Amino acid sequence: WSPPLAAEGAEKVDQELLVACKVEPLQTLGDGNCLVHAVALGAWGVHDRHWQCSTDDLRQMLYALLGNEEFVKTLLPRMQAEEKRQFAGCPQAITEPSAEATLRVEINEMRERARVSGQFLEKLHIFVLAQAMRRPIIVYHHDQDQPRGSEMAGIYIPDMWSAPTKLCGKPLALLYTCAANGNGHFTVCVGVEGGVRALPLTNHVDGSPLLLRFAPEAADEEGGWAAHVASFLDVVWSGGTSTDEELYEAEDAPMQPSPAATRGSFPFAYVSRSPAGPGLMLRSVQHLRDQFIERAREMSRELVPPSPPLPPYPAPPVMPESSAEQMKKAIEMSLKAPPVAPEDSADQIKKAIEMSLQAPP
């Protein structure tokens, strides 16, 4: 991001902030679930596949919130304010937003779309996701054919929670692109590790502030935009109000009041005020697994001493055979012996003569 050269005060933007705003897009699946994929990638580093990881299905969270009557009652006036904000200052500007009955029909349609995987999600889903995540979402996009530059770009703040202190003030950055055939795609953008990280809150074309999507009507009053943003984000305005020491102050330090917006200044929201140290760089999962297994083996050897080797197992003694077994064995062997052929009478006479001749006188 860089401020438009034609915008007033563009030359006053701190170079440290411009470096901090450098982001890189991550490849995000375009299977019709790109919005929930992008949010899950930015928050947890995984695509939103609840059957493959430990994250909840974000579509189910959207479906549940849009079906909650208390949530819908609070959402209806926000949708009416958004209708007027979307076309403010344009020929299409309206003074009377849609009736609640009409908006309820739209909410039911958005709820059914959130239930079915692969169905395209819109800006209302982004706002509801911000409430479910309790984390701001900033969407960057520009379309010169749109009344106010884009139907998607803007700041989606989880401002429907009554206690801002229980929210995460680190915004997620999404990039919305639209093809010539009208198909849109959300891509998550992440900052480079090792330095301060911040996100611009203005349009990169004309330098105008990003719209506060579905914010209360008070945010549209004079000074309301800056006050509402500063209530939920760690905002700083460019123009020489920050130094190197302030940029790298401790991240867990109490948040200081943001300097007031001045003519020609640009607002930025910090994601991280301190550079990421080497301790945040996680090693590979495979290395951690191997290390865990080796450590478990060492602990098992320390806790359980090795047992002495067992003596060889003696051969079983030969039991003496009983008389019945011996008789049975003899009968079996006799049955297996070849039969003796009987001698005929001629052989018997010949054998008797030979024996008589050999007998002594």
pLDDT tens-digit readout, 143-170: 877 766 788 999 999 999 877 778 888 9
* Spatial contact of 196 and 164, defined as CB atoms under 8 Å apart: no
pLDDT the model gives residue 226: 94
| pLDDT at position 205 over 70 | yes
DSSP characters for 222-234? TTHHHHHHHHHS-
Judging by DSSP bridges, how do beta strands 267-272 and 172-178 pair with one another?
unpaired
pLDDT the model gives residue 52: 46
Give 3-state DSSP helix, strand, coil % of the chain, rounded to 5.
40, 10, 50
| pLDDT at position 263 over 70 | no
- Specify which residues 173 forms β-bridges with: 138, 189
Q: Does residue 22 fall inside a structural domain?
A: yes
Q: How confident is the model at residue 94 (pLDDT cuts 50, 70, 90)?
A: confident
pLDDT in tens, 210-232: 999 999 999 999 899 999 999 99
Q: Does residue 237 fall inside a structural domain?
A: yes
Least confident of 69-73, 237-241, 336-340: 336-340
| pLDDT at position 195 over 90 | no
Looking at residue 74, its amino acid is T
pLDDT the model gives residue 28: 92
pLDDT the model gives residue 9: 76
* Spatial contact of 149 and 98, defined as CB atoms under 8 Å apart: no
Read off the CATH number of the domain in which 83 is found: 3.90.70.80
Q: Which of 131-135, 283-287, 310-314, 325-329 has the highest mean pLDDT?
A: 131-135
Q: Does residue 247 fall inside a structural domain?
A: no
- DSSP one-letter code for 341: P
Total count of residues recorded for the chain:
361
How far is 161 from 126, CA to CA, in rounded Å?
16
Q: Does residue 302 fall inside a structural domain?
A: no
Say what percent of the chain tops pLDDT 70.
Answer: 68
Q: What is the dihedral of CA 288, 53, 152, 8, to 10 degrees?
A: -10
Q: How confident is the model at residue 47 (pLDDT cuts 50, 70, 90)?
A: confident
* Spatial contact of 236 and 215, defined as CB atoms under 8 Å apart: no
Least confident of 135-139, 208-212, 240-244, 336-340: 240-244
Higher pLDDT, 315 or 210: 210
Whole-model pTM: value is 0.71
**Between vectors from CA 149 to CA 93 and to CA 214, what angle results, nearest 5°?**
65
- Specify which residues 156 forms β-bridges with: 137
**Between vectors from CA 289 to CA 283 and to CA 295, what angle results, nearest 5°?**
110
| pLDDT at position 323 over 90 | no
For residue 108, what are the domain limits? Answer: 13-241+258-277
Q: Does residue 152 fall inside a structural domain?
A: yes
Q: Does residue 287 fall inside a structural domain?
A: no
Higher pLDDT, 23 or 148: 23
Closest CA to 208 of 168, 155, 130, 167: 155
Q: Does residue 182 fall inside a structural domain?
A: yes
Q: Does residue 29 fall inside a structural domain?
A: yes
Report how many domains make up the chain.
Answer: 1
Closest CA to 20 of 271, 232, 266, 204: 271
DSSP characters for 174-219? EEEEE-TTS-EEEEEEEEPTTS-EEEE-B-TTT-PBPPBTT--GGG
